[in-house]
Structures are given as C-alpha cells and as structure tokens.
Amino acid sequence: MARVAIVTGGTRGIGRAICEHLKEDGFTVVANYGGNDEAAQAFTKETGIAAYKWDVGDHHATQAGCEKVTEEIGPVDVVVNNAGITRDGTLMRMTYEDWHDVMRINLGGCFNMAKACFPGMKERGWGRIVNIGSINGQAGQYGQVNYAAAKSGIHGFTKALAQEGARFDITVNAIAPGYIDTDMVAAVPENVLEKIVAKIPVGRLGQPSEIARGVSFLCSDEAGFVTGSTMSINGGQHMY
C-alpha cells in the first residue's frame, strides 16, 4: 500500500508543488490548509489530491485533523511542515499578535503535527518529517523578528527531533528556501524585493518546484542516512 504523506499549507505555493512531486513519487498525498476554501477546491479539482482544513497552530484541531486523515486515508508516514505566514514589520511597529500568530503557526505548527504523527511512525518503524525553514531563519531579515525567530526555531526543532527519531528510522530534516516565486514573496513591496533579488547570485527568484525536488529526495528511502540536516535552496544568497 502506498505511504501516506501530509503537506501542511499544501494547496498553494511551495506546498502545492511539494504535493505534486510527492504524488509523482507514489505517495498518497493529503494537503492540509488553513483558510482559503476556494483555492483548496480548485487544487483538489486540478490535482486529485484531497484537502483537509484545520489550523496547524491549534493543537487540538491538529490532533483531530490527523486522526481524521488516518481514519479516512490511512496512517501518516510522511509529514511536511510547510504552513507558514508572515506579519512583517519593524519591532517598533510589530504588535504582540503579529509576534504570537507567527510563532503559533510557523513553529507551533511543527510541534503540533509531530505530536500527532510521530507516535504512529515510531510504532510502524519508519517515518519522514521535513520542516520548511527559511534563509531568514538562518541569516535574519530586517522587519521579521517574529518570522526569523520562528524559522530559526524550526532549525533547532529539527535537530532535536532528529536525535529522537533516528533509532526508529524516522528522519527529520529541514529545507531552508531562499526567496521563491510565491504569493508570500509577491507581498513584499516591489522596491524592497528588487534590492533583495539583486543580492541573489543566481539572479532570480526560485521556483516552488525547486524546493519540492529537495523534499522529494528527503522523503525517499534512499535518504535514510540523512537526518538532522538543513538543505539550503536559495540561489546562493546565503551560504553557511
């Protein structure tokens, strides 16, 4: 039977490309989404991939959502924690809600999904967790103390959980995308984005499929010795 993969924030942008690649790889893919019903319906119609709505920042909703997927589709073998939001602004302008929403969804979502799915992976002796971090979690970014902190947290979360999963054949890795051609990046003011792109050695934004290819590798059987790692896919914008 095909392994089941859940991709959070899977109906648009990078998440959608990940869903499509994992489906091509032979997984039974389920997309989670948080808000945009219209986009989710169009996604399911176009891809044939089921979409389930819940807020990954809500611990109990995530538990219930993953239970529903398990009952209706099957036990979850692969989790891709891709859901994320931005609430950009300098510290002086950032509200507590801007801080808290980003921490709750971007970082809390990874914890909630792992709590729901790790025990089953452990029981079955195989699992893949891929967390989508960010170049801005590695290097910081003006106007993003919330997002950079949450994404940086994802990298620490990845390394800690990798140590716990290793003896059960559960690998836990992160991908740190640079600036990718999605709605999230399109929301950056044009004059600011121009300056950012000028600093990307490859000279362009990345494409969602260029992140999805990395996820696809990390979810494969062949990647069983890769755990606790961060794959940076950023056009050379940040190297370390």
According to CB under 6 A, which one of 136, 138, 152, 232 is a site residue for ligand CAA?
136
Instruction: Tell me the site size for ligand CAA, rule CB under 6 A.
Output: 19
Active-site residue flag, 240: no
What minimum distance in Å lies between the beta carbon of 86 and ligand CAA? 5
Torsion of the alpha carbons at 181, 227, 61 and 14, rounded to the nearest 10: 10
CB 37 within 8 Å of CB 53: yes
What minimum distance in Å lies between the beta carbon of 143 and ligand CAA? 2
Residue partners of 160: CB distance under 8 A and separation at least 6: none
What minimum distance in Å lies between the beta carbon of 158 and ligand CAA? 15
Q: What would you measure as the largest C-alpha separation in the chain, in angstroms? A: 53
Residue in 191, 81, 181 with CA at minimum distance from that of residue 137: 81
According to CB under 6 A, which one of 114, 179, 212, 214 is a site residue for ligand CAA?
179
Q: Which of positions 43-62 make contact with ligand CAA (CB under 6 A)?
A: none
Quick check: helix, strand or coil at residue 226? coil
CB 199 within 8 Å of CB 141: no
According to CB under 6 A, which one of 38, 48, 71, 189 is a site residue for ligand CAA?
189
Q: According to the binding rule CB under 6 A, does residue 185 interact with ligand CAA? A: yes
Catalytic option among 96, 147, 179, 240: 147
Q: How far is CA 111 from the centre of its chain?
A: 12
Catalytic residues: 147
Interface ranges with ligand CAA (CB under 6 A)? 86, 88-90, 134-136, 141-144, 147, 177, 179, 184-185, 188-189, 192
